[in-house]
Structure 1
């Protein structure tokens, strides 16, 4: 059985269940398994499998201490009747593909058909089920408090997944004034006796760093342990949040095969809008599990720290922070980059610990030239400023009659600018959220007059485009807003403790 350990040390190993239950390694590193890639998914047979069957196969490899029956139950609970599409994450072709002149046709992988209209539903419908089995293995009586910082979408998806889950509570922090009004209402109207939501005076990086500090607070952990409570995370630092995202890369490939767009073994290029590096890291895991990937393209917004790193090898968060129309990507500390660096460096824990110490102490690190060259073999990159995002939304609609949100627009712009990777039989753009989560930005990009109210924007967007807002988003207009708490960064730990002791 493969065991998990920290990216920064092999001193302590644990099972996949324990890694999911803990969320973060004791030394602040992220849990990884050295067995990743030792077994492969059978690509030849993918076209014959539905999403659930692919999920069972992928998760069985990545979480080996879960029994086949446990995995099957988790998959069934997560994906039966919870997504609007029978494919869960459907693939649609673009009629005039970005980069079409460069060769392969482009498709969109729609990841937003879950209960909160964002890609994070795919993992956060699964994580509570995985957590429940991990909790059962840990022994009776323990309660888990999920603590999560969100740049916009994780918060609602985690709240929806964990609301009233037995033996669990969840506390979500979001940066005050730096998410869309629709995103904010999704969180502040959340039902459930076990949920707590607070805005933080600061940006996402401030909130995320504070959450990591909360996990590292031994005195807090001891006080909560005395009450039978442990902390865990629903951010993609938790391996249980990350591994379900690997599934949709294989599911996308299967759909391309069924459509006759590719044959088994053909390489596909994936363009992924990302800030925290989790969504694109899942594609890297898929590649290690045998998926034919020609390139993983990292698409950034104006907070382009990942573009600079992938271009120069220097990661430097000492730069202005921009609030953009793609708030879920407004991030300067990309936590999951640490996992990629671990695998690309062939598991060099000492190097990873050194790089992360540099980041903590100086706000920057630099990887050796030979490591950068190895990274660039798999990863390409690009970014879009606010004008380019708006232009991409307009171009996608006017040229393809396809409506996209600002995050997806970053990827659309990058695909238009970058030539197709060598050997690519198809290009796949990951669409991470419904455009109706950001109706103001989308309507403005289309050149329309923008009403003052976000829900009036939704209705006008429906009228202008002939598309329909997801019912769960439109319903927010009349939902009761339960939470109005605002905390300073230093007060986040006390807020978590209060919420935990109410469980």
Structure 2
């Protein structure tokens, strides 16, 4: 039976996977979700004998079932190739009593590469399947990593343009340099005078502008998204949790059927939602450990059942998680509401109008799979220093948030279940914060002097992604106010 996708806000909307990927966001502002989550049709032992590409096909074919085998395998093989600096794509490293799942071996050294390497191929295949004649305009907000990964994925892809908005003072210097030096005749990068939530809200408003949609269509364009609101981003993320389990099994660290914990640093909730979907598809996950930084809106939600974004927005050293509106949480809310679109739509309306909502006790009981906690800036830095000094392994600031929360979880529960920590970015992406955590003396050095020092202490070669931006010229320097985002898009597309 074919999997159809519904809007989280309107149960009557039913589309195929390729249509959901093309649209990105439902017309009513809802997110596309599968009507059901199919169970894996391969055993855990079978997965343990597969390459990353093979696991990707076996997982993704279940949810993207209107793609033919040839189409899907072409997308997978085009994505997971020499762009990654390891054949394993996502290797596991055992350190400090856990298994770090390194998701940063792609072109832009962040976990977003795992999905954004394949999304352009899924999108262009979906466009052909649905006889789309318009150019696809990818419109995306980024808190740092999605932007560069999406730009790299879509650069010079025929029939597409990509426009990325990022908060001017809300990303690391390396993240910003990666974006503003991006080549490609179809790439556009715009800094906004605001934070990530402003950028994300602005993008959603542009998507919802029906008048603009008509003008776009007349000019031969249509919007789609590379954010994790696009189901084409989320499905590939399920793969690496299955692959992590398969590696543990292949290495004799666990037996088939043994449960593991998944520890995920999260802001927009997509990465941990993928782990939740994997669990519901049959992966033996015990606890989903949701790690927040000082913008701890998700921790408070799991603790109280109230989601409240009415608080100060804090700029931290883990900027990809500096988020107060966790878009993907809506997919979980829809599910724990019993797939009730009307109930979910009402809660999202409350969020829009009052900045908060509270779930029912019954819904709260559906969250038993999750544990939430957060790491302060000082705890984050202390974890980086401790793990380096005790093991020689250097982790980035986001991974350190997860490692800190994992230690809190163990202390609280005494649970010694083997645990996989999603290591979401290379420490090279946040060199200043990482090196300062290890020793304050490094703060006197320039950004690229820090890169060279990190190579010395970590004994990990400087990634190509960093080498290529040392001397790369800035090619994007547009800055706009939040209320100018739509006009900026129209100007880029010559619609004014």
1:48 maps to 49
Distance 1:200 1:447, change over 3 A: same
Distance in 1 (alpha carbons) for counterparts of 2:70 and 2:28 = 33
Name 1:474's counterpart in structure 2.
Answer: 467
1:144 matched to which residue of 2? 136
Distance 1:38 1:498 in 2: 46
1:400 matched to 2:391: yes
Aligned to 1:461: 454
Contact 1:40 1:290 survives alignment (8 Å): no
Structure 1 residue 35: Cα displacement: 2.1
What is the root-mean-square deviation in Å for CA atoms of aligned residues? 1.4
Residue 344, structure 1, aligned to residue 345, structure 2: no
Contact preservation (8 Å) 1:145, 1:500 = no
- For residues 179-200 of structure 1, give each alpha carbon's deviation from its aligned partner in whole angstroms, at most 9, with x where no partner exists: 0010001000000000100100
* Distance in 1 separating the partners of 2:434 and 2:345: 42
Cα separation, partners in 2 of 1:460 and 1:39, compared to 1, 3 Å? closer
Q: 2:375 aligns with which of 380, 384, 398?
A: 384
Equivalent residues, number: 492
Does the 8 A contact of 2:139 with 2:223 survive in 1? yes
The 1:284–1:41 alpha-carbon spacing in structure 2 relative to 1, beyond 3 Å, is: farther
Q: How does 1:13-32 map to 2 (within 5 A)?
A: 13-32=14-33
- Looking at structure 2, the residues matched to 185 and 254 of structure 1 have their Cα atoms a distance apart, in angstroms, of 36
SS in 1 for 2:36: coil
1:140, distance to aligned residue in structure 2 (A): 5.2
Instruction: Tell me, yes or no, if the aligned pair for 2:83 and 2:107 is still in contact at 8 Å.
Output: yes
Query: Residue in 1 aligned with 2:318?
Result: 326
Q: Is 1:274–2:271 an aligned residue pair?
A: no
Q: Distance in 2 between matches of 1:140 and 1:345?
A: 35
Classify the secondary structure of the residue corresponding to 1:118.
coil
CA contact (8 A) 1:51 1:87 kept: yes
**Alignment TM-score, normalising by the size of structure 2:** 0.97
Between the aligned partners of 1:250 and 1:38, the Cα distance in structure 2 is 12
Q: Distance in 2 between matches of 1:295 and 1:198?
A: 39
Which blocks of at least 5 consecutive residues in structure 1 are unaligned? 98-105
Alpha-carbon displacement from aligned partner over 1:343-366 (angstroms, at most 9, x marks no partner): 222201111001100000000000
1:101 aligns with: none
Q: 1: CA distance between counterparts of 2:90 and 2:459?
A: 22
Tell whether the 8 Å contact from 1:41 to 1:289 is kept in structure 2 after alignment.
Answer: no
> Equivalent residue for 2:305?
313
Change (3 A) 1:416 1:188: same
2:248 equivalent in structure 1:
256
1:161 alignment partner, one of 153, 159, 165: 153
2:400 corresponds to 1:409: yes
Worse-matched range after superposition: 358-367 or 452-461: 452-461
Equivalent position SS for 2:150: helix
Secondary structure of the 2:317 match is: coil
Range 419-428 or range 121-130, more displaced: 419-428
Structure 2 SS opposite 1:478: coil
Task: Note if contact 1:262-1:425 (Cα within 8 Å) is conserved in structure 2.
Answer: no
Does 2:283 match 1:291? yes
Structure 2: stretches of 5+ with no match in the other structure: none
Q: CA deviation at 1:3?
A: 1.1
Instruction: Give how far 1:16 is off.
Output: 0.6
Counterpart in the other structure of 1:210: 202
Corresponding residue number in structure 1 for 2:484: 491
Aligned to 1:241: 233
Aligned mates of 2:265, 2:415 — CA distance in 1: 22
CA shift for structure 1 position 452? 4.7
Contact 2:45–2:249 (8 Å) recurs in 1: no
**CA separation in 2, counterparts of 1:249 and 1:424?**
19
**Aligned match of 1:196 in 188, 199, 205?**
188
Instruction: Give distance in 2, aligned partners of 1:210 and 1:471.
Output: 33
Secondary structure of 1:419's counterpart equals helix
CA distance in 2, matches of 1:271, 1:41: 24
Secondary structure of the residue that 2:312 maps to in structure 1? coil
Preserved CA contact (<8 Å) 2:383 2:403:
yes
Distance in 1 (alpha carbons) for counterparts of 2:131 and 2:457: 55
Give, in whole Å, the separation in 2 of the partners of 1:424 and 1:473: 37
Provide the rounded CA distance (Å) in 1 between the counterparts of 2:137 and 2:230. 14
Using the alignment, how far apart are the partners of 1:438 and 1:140 within structure 2? 40
Aligned-pair CA distance for 1:41: 4.7
Residues 1:435 and 2:419 are matched in the alignment:
no
